[in-house]
Structure 1
Amino acid sequence: MMNSFKTVGLNTYEVIKNDIICGILPPLKKLKLLELKIKYNTSVSTLREILSRLSGDGFVVSKEQKGFYVSAVSKSDLFEIANLRILIESHALQQSIKNTNPEWEGLLISAHHKLKFYENEMLQKKTDDRNNWKKHDSEFHQVLVQNCGSKNLIELHKLIFDKYLRYQLLILTFRGSKSVQEHQDILDFTLGKNYEKAQFVLKTHITNGIDHALQNFKLD
């Protein structure tokens, strides 16, 4: 069963999780196995295993006698996820900076360059391509922590970031030049090996994003 899940179910797990993150499967939607079987072209037994794993990861809830549902969203959950992200990403960033090397710095500069391109496109109102913007925003933050030296910490950060990203795609909007400058400051302080200032700007970046979102979107 495990080999089957690895070869067949893992890709489907990622696809379904991505559809939840992107809102294609919206909050509270009932996940009917027969519908999912057709939509994702996989077996009911594999789907049960995938949904159980997604339940364990917090993207799906299992209700006794009622089946599986996409997890709800709420202001309290958003605050909890944001605080966890600050805690985990700040620590991982500090470790990445302590382990700094030219290869990682090159990856970080490249990731930021791509992100800044889409940020500038949105600043100049040439595009409203939120998907590419958030894709490269996510990649930049993943690279920030990938030099921390801990596989478990990287995996935990990815899980929390994906939960945060779900809210970003549901309610967060582009903050403009302030967000762009925060990313630039995080990069500069990181390359300057000043992890305390990098951590401070990172926390500010996340909390400013939450404040901005809740001013523009009602969330219970």
Structure 2
Amino acid sequence: MGKILTMPFDGSMEGATATTAPQDVSREDAATFDVLRKMREDILCCVLKPDQRLRFGELRQRYGTSVGTLREALSHLVSEGLARTEAGRGFQVAPISLADFLDLSELRVYLETSTLADAIRHGTDAWEAEIVSSYFLLAKLAAPRQDDPVSVKREWGKRHKRFHDSLVATCTSPWSLHFRSELFDQARRYHWLTMIHARSRRRNEHLDLRDAVLARDVDLACGLIEKHIRTTVQQAASEVPGLTLEMAKRKKA
């Protein structure tokens, strides 16, 4: 039986492990980890676009690796719901829909508010310091634009995730944190598309969140994170081409 590649709850590949001891991890495993990390981030940042066909020839050139490594990495992405495969048709990036985003967001509201409330009740000085520093780093970068280099998009995404992760870091439920992180990553593609196509400007909701959490105001902080999530859905529905409330209603019918 082959080794199972796993990723830490924060979605990064740092500290990734296999089911075998570290000394048993082969070069092939390391190559798969590296390609999986790059492909995953490219999908989450919409560099690889929803529904895009993932052709091995193009992927080999892009990531400089073998077909076998690509196939293993793609299998992991399929298990995460970020890619799909059909018999005889190969792999493609998972599609998006407003119905999917609404479903994700309803679950996120529940998990974000519950983990945030628990984190505030168990917050420490170190937790507060990480919130302050992660917000500072996020605020140093403007939200990326469609024509920005991939490196800029990745760095903003890394800092954005770090800030949101810092808010809930002292939550005492590992399972809640795990599923919260999974849903956060699944929603990232919708965040990117909303930012890229945004026509309206929003206030600095991250600053409001930071201040409410540092003030240990559970009700205000939970209300703000819920509004933050729901406002993004509303903006996506009205400004992202192809994502409409009518489409979601037809899918539910």
**Interval containing the TM-score (normalised by the shorter chain):** 0.7 to 0.9
Q: Which moved more, 1:183-192 or 1:17-26?
A: 183-192
1:52 Cα deviation after fit = 1.2
SS of 1:62 mapped into structure 2 = strand
SS of 1:93 mapped into structure 2 = helix
**Aligned amino acid, residue 119 of structure 2:** S
Task: Work out the CA distance in 2 between the residues paired with 1:138 and 1:37.
Answer: 29
1:99–1:147 contact (8 Å) kept in structure 2: yes
The alpha-carbon distance between structure 1 residues 166 and 189, as it changes in their structure 2 partners (threshold 3 A), is same
Which structure has more helix as a fraction of its residues? 1
Q: Is 1:185–2:208 an aligned residue pair? A: yes
1:54 Cα deviation after fit = 0.6
1:41 Cα deviation after fit = 2.0
Residue in structure 2 matching 1:23, options 42, 46, 57: 46
The TM-score, its normalising length taken from structure 2, stands at 0.74
Q: Which residue of 2 aligns with 1:125?
A: none
1:46 Cα deviation after fit = 2.1
1:36 Cα deviation after fit = 1.7
**Aligned amino acid, residue 199 of structure 1:** C
1:92 Cα deviation after fit = 1.5
1:137 Cα deviation after fit = 2.7
Give the share of equivalent positions with the same residue, in percent: 28
SS of 1:147 mapped into structure 2 = coil
Q: Deviations over 1:48-98 (max 9, x none)?
A: 221111111110011122111101111111111222222222222122112
Task: Work out the CA distance in 1 between the residues paired with 2:38 and 2:185.
Answer: 13
Residue in structure 2 matching 1:57, options 65, 73, 80: 80
- Aligned-residue Cα RMSD (Å) equals 2.4
Question: Which sections of structure 2, spanning at least 5 residues, go unmatched?
Answer: 4-24, 248-253
The TM-score, its normalising length taken from structure 1, stands at 0.84
The alpha-carbon distance between structure 1 residues 37 and 150, as it changes in their structure 2 partners (threshold 3 A), is farther
Task: Work out the CA distance in 1 between the residues paired with 2:52 and 2:139.
Answer: 35
Q: Which residue of 2 aligns with 1:66?
A: 89
Q: Deviations over 1:96-127 (max 9, x none)?
A: 112210001000011122333446xx7xxxxx
SS of 2:85 mapped into structure 1 = strand
Task: Work out the CA distance in 2 between the residues paired with 1:176 and 1:101.
Answer: 34
Q: Which moved more, 1:197-206 or 1:40-49?
A: 40-49
Q: Deviations over 1:116-152 (max 9, x none)?
A: 3446xx7xxxxx8983555433221111122213444
Q: Deviations over 1:195-216 (max 9, x none)?
A: 2221111001111122123222
**Aligned amino acid, residue 110 of structure 2:** L
**Aligned amino acid, residue 13 of structure 1:** L
Task: Work out the CA distance in 2 between the residues paired with 1:101 and 1:62.
Answer: 45
